[in-house]
Amino acid sequence: MTVLTADGAAMVAEVRVAVGDLVPKGGVLIATELMKMRHEILAPEDVRIMAVHVAVGDELHGGMPLVSLEAAQMQTTVDAKPDAPRPEFIDFENRMALLDDNARPDAVAKRHADGYRTARENIKDLFDPETFNEYGALAVAAQRTRKAEEELQAKSQADGIICGTGLVNGRPVAAMAVDYMVMAGTQGYQHHRKMDRLIEVAGRDRLPIVLFAEGGGGRPNDADVDPLIAAGLNVPSFRNFAAHKGPKIGIVAGYCFAGNAALFGVCDLRIATKKSWVGMGGPAMIEGGGLGRFAAKDIGPSDLQMETGLIDLRVEDERSAVLAAKQVLGMSDTASWQNPDADLRDIVPSDRTRVYDMRRAIAGIVDDDSFLELRQKFGDGIITGFARVKGRPLGLLANNPLHLGGAIDAQAGDKAARFLQLCDAWGLPALTLCDTPGFMVGPEVEATGQVAHVSRLFLAGAHFSQPLVTVILRKAYGLGAMAMAGGGFDRPQFCCAWPTGELGAMGIEGAVKLGARDHLAAIEDHQAREAELQRLIDALYARGKALNAASVLEFDAVIDPADTRHAVDRAFATAGAAVPGHRYVDAW
């Protein structure tokens, strides 16, 4: 016979057995209670109860006998009754089910009919399977004083924004996706608190943030907090998001106005679908300001925002947008690459007055199909984008001879400066391809604020802390060429030219006509004057040719165009790490 004893002080809360009872292994014999916690004493094997030594309410101490029992053979096996579902898990499962898109079939069907995906579909597509950890999923709109809890749970899931972290192609990433099916994507009290929490986590762990921005601005009817708020202008989400130093990638499909547009605007890389409309004020705000009545599709369509430079990359739909974001986020991956099939010696025409397509040169220098061009419809004089050279990720900045002969105007200057700042923030080296007669000049150009805009390129170059390599393809004249090299030809880790390169303080023809104006005017015979002009031009061209300029150390080397990829790769390989404290994304 065996006697079970108490382990320590407690009180008998329940006695489940009596003398003579047969109890199967694991059956409850006695329940005790201490500090409001219940402890069940179980049968160690199939047993028969020989004696019960305590009663309900008895105070126990260590070693005190509880029951006496002996081993027994159970004659029959009683099927255990399945445990009844526990209420707390029923509540949990029902509550979590409301977050699923299946809980809103009508709203989802309308979303699909309009040609869009749901926020959860975008999140699922972005992250690697089973890696997404959601933050604040159970939040509801701060309207409990106006609406029943059940209604809020069913109609304001996650308070209209899905926040969380996970892996994108194995890389840790944070994401926020506005749910347009919740109150048209307006931003509520808990909505902002969730954003602030995720931004804080992303900053602590140095994560990129992908923002799916859609919907309107602040929600005016979160009554739970309204009595405590006069205007609600101390919301820190905008400042926190703008201050985040990791990569910020914004994606817009559909309508994006007011607060959501502001968040999209501070993103480093802005991706939008063709069916998107972005503006600082939506129809209601415009009408409320007495500025007239407009349909949502009248405000900031993607065609317009491509021309304004707001959109860096326009894609067909949300699927394409997610693919583009993954491509950018995967720039640090070790990738296989293929040499491009191009003869770079044939890119620049032998006739120095003929234009050519710089994009052909880019395609021949970077890894095959690796160039992702940004802001194609803005600042046509400059081409910007991400690429790889022999697998190495970098930012690429090039003049466009097909626009103004490669001259840099105000839009091109802004575009180039912002791109250099982006590369610096993301820790990307930069390759610049120079073919410019300089900054654009003239009364009409100055009316655009030319000086202020193009000077930004000098500021961006002066503060650029990553490795920089410059290749001169043909023209490298004046301040514009210096700006393309980060501020001067001594700035890049390696500054080289193709044999077709030519340098000068200003365009050759202009320099000759200006510098020799009196000399040429003194020649009365027209043919003789033209012959002298050409002689001076040829002499100045010979002086500025790449081979001659390199001989007096204007730059570092003249290279065979066919060797450009190797020269660029060698230069970056020996450039070393970026300045400590500036390379935020170490893998890039």
Q: What is the pLDDT of residues 141-194, one digit of tens each?
A: 888 888 999 999 989 999 999 999 999 999 999 999 999 999 999 988 899 999
**Same domain as 459, residue 399:** yes
Question: What pLDDT sits at residue 513?
Answer: 60
Q: At what angle do helices 450-463 and 410-426 cross, to 10 degrees?
A: 20
CA distance 374 to 578: 24
CA distance 49 to 1: 10
Q: Which residue has the tokens 């840099």?
A: 408
546, 558 in Cβ contact below 8 A? yes
**Same domain as 259, residue 394:** no
Is 434 among the domain residues? yes
Question: What pLDDT sits at residue 411?
Answer: 95
Q: What is the DSSP letter of 336?
A: -
Confidence of residue 454 (pLDDT cuts 50, 70, 90): very high
- The residue range of the domain holding 538 is 506-544
Question: What pLDDT sits at residue 230?
Answer: 54
- CB atoms closer than 10 angstroms to residue 337: 15
Task: Provide the greatest CA pair distance for the chain.
Answer: 137
Total domains present in the chain = 4
CA 173-174-179 angle, 5° bins = 135
67 pLDDT more than 90: yes
Question: What pLDDT sits at residue 583?
Answer: 40
CA distance 188 to 215: 12
Residues 6+ apart with CB under 8 A from 587: 171, 332
pTM comes to: 0.82
CA-to-CA separations, 547 to 185, 471, 559, in angstroms, rounded: 61, 14, 10
Strand partners, 273: 315
**Same domain as 462, residue 487:** yes
CA distance 263 to 213: 7
Question: What pLDDT sits at residue 45?
Answer: 92
Is 250 among the domain residues? yes
Confidence of residue 536 (pLDDT cuts 50, 70, 90): low
**Same domain as 538, residue 490:** no
CATH number assigned to the domain comprising residue 370: 3.90.226.10
Is 79 among the domain residues? no
Q: Is 558 helix (H, G, I), strand (E, B) or coil?
A: strand
The rounded Cα 261 to chain-centroid distance in angstroms is 15
**Same domain as 361, residue 226:** no
Give the domain-ending residue among 313, 330, 347.
330
**Same domain as 314, residue 387:** no
CA distance 186 to 284: 13
Strand partners, 34: 37
Question: What pLDDT sits at residue 530?
Answer: 72
420, 385 in Cβ contact below 8 A? no
**Same domain as 179, residue 297:** yes
Is 318 among the domain residues? yes
- CB atoms closer than 10 angstroms to residue 460: 24
Question: What pLDDT sits at residue 282?
Answer: 84
**Tokens matching residue 47:** 């047993």
Helices (H) and strands (E) in the chain, counts: 20, 23
Question: What pLDDT sits at residue 570?
Answer: 94
Is 243 among the domain residues? yes
Question: What pLDDT sits at residue 584?
Answer: 35
**Tokens matching residue 290:** 């007495």
The rounded Cα 503 to chain-centroid distance in angstroms is 39
**Same domain as 373, residue 283:** no
Total length of the chain: 588
Is 140 among the domain residues? yes
**Same domain as 420, residue 307:** no
Q: Is 402 helix (H, G, I), strand (E, B) or coil?
A: coil
**Same domain as 99, residue 44:** no
More confident site: 40 or 582: 40
Question: What pLDDT sits at residue 168?
Answer: 95
**Same domain as 262, residue 174:** yes
CA distance 554 to 495: 9
**Tokens matching residue 222:** 């979160």
- CB atoms closer than 10 angstroms to residue 520: 16
186, 218 in Cβ contact below 8 A? yes
Question: What pLDDT sits at residue 176?
Answer: 97
Give the domain-ending residue among 308, 330, 352.
330
Give the domain-ending residue among 305, 330, 355.
330
CA distance 500 to 242: 44
Question: What pLDDT sits at residue 540?
Answer: 65
Question: What pLDDT sits at residue 225?
Answer: 73
CA distance 421 to 486: 12
CA-to-CA separations, 406 to 184, 357, 480, 534, in angstroms, rounded: 45, 11, 10, 23
**Same domain as 490, residue 342:** yes
Average pLDDT, the chain: 89
Question: What pLDDT sits at residue 578?
Answer: 40
**Mean pLDDT lowest for which of 83-97, 147-161, 381-395?**
83-97
Q: What is the DSSP letter of 202?
A: H
Residues 6+ apart with CB under 8 A from 187: 160, 161, 215, 216, 217, 218, 219, 237, 259, 260
- 59-60: strand order across its sheet: 37-42, 28-34, 10-15, 59-60
> Using one digit for the tens of pLDDT, what is the confidence trace for 78-88?
555 667 788 88
- CB atoms closer than 10 angstroms to residue 130: 7
Is 6 among the domain residues? yes
CA distance 82 to 76: 18
CA distance 287 to 283: 6
More confident site: 129 or 1: 129
More confident site: 525 or 23: 23
Q: What's the chain's Rg over C-alpha atoms?
A: 35
Is 587 among the domain residues? no
Confidence of residue 372 (pLDDT cuts 50, 70, 90): very high
Q: Average pLDDT in the 430-459 region?
A: 92
240 pLDDT more than 50: yes
Question: What pLDDT sits at residue 122?
Answer: 97
Question: What pLDDT sits at residue 524?
Answer: 74
